[in-house]
Amino acid sequence: MLNLYALVDGFQYEQHTGQRIQHRRGINRPILHGTEDEPLAHAGPWLVDVTRAEEQVSQLEELEQALPSVSWLITSIDMEGLSQLLQLRLEVELPDGRKALLRFYDPRVLGNLYHTMDAGQRAEFFHLVDEWHFIYNGQRVATGRTNA
């Protein structure tokens, strides 16, 4: 069974709506949950199970058009598992050994990342999902395990 999720930038959501995303067990999950950055979870990436949050879909579609802040993921992985897998993608090591946050949940970053990766890197990064949709430079991009 395939699931539809929205990956939402919590900071951009708050800027657009004037409200923080509120954690609703089984419906959404902050990706920073359980990390050392958990105090900033409200402003970080959130995974939203769109089939359980149907009342938010139009709001998320509006947010996607207004700010670079939403991407859509279709996968058979459950929310908990996908959240953990995405969490593993957040930290990257810089050439000098320092750690940095990879803001792939920002479609601008994701688009730049996609275009700078070679085919093997794209396959490794995007293999988690069947389809990953986002807007980059005004155009809808679709990638995932089938066309990474």
Q: What are the residue ranges spanned by the domains of the chain?
A: 3-88+103-143
Assess whether pLDDT exceeds 90 at residue 63. Answer: yes
pLDDT recorded at residue 141: 92
Mean pLDDT of the chain: 93
Given pLDDT bands bounded at 50, 70 and 90, which one contains residue 16? very high
- Token pair 């089938």 in the structure block, residue: 146
Q: Quick one: pLDDT at residue 148?
A: 47
Q: How far is CA 113 from CA 32, 110, 126, in A?
A: 21, 5, 11
- Beta-bridge mates of residue 45: 9
Residue 33 dihedral angles phi and psi, to the nearest 5° = -60, 130
Instruction: Report which of 91, 118, 82, 90 is spatially closest to residue 5, judged by C-alpha positions.
Output: 82
128 pLDDT band (50/70/90 cuts)?
Answer: confident
Residue 144's pLDDT band, with cuts at 50, 70 and 90, is confident
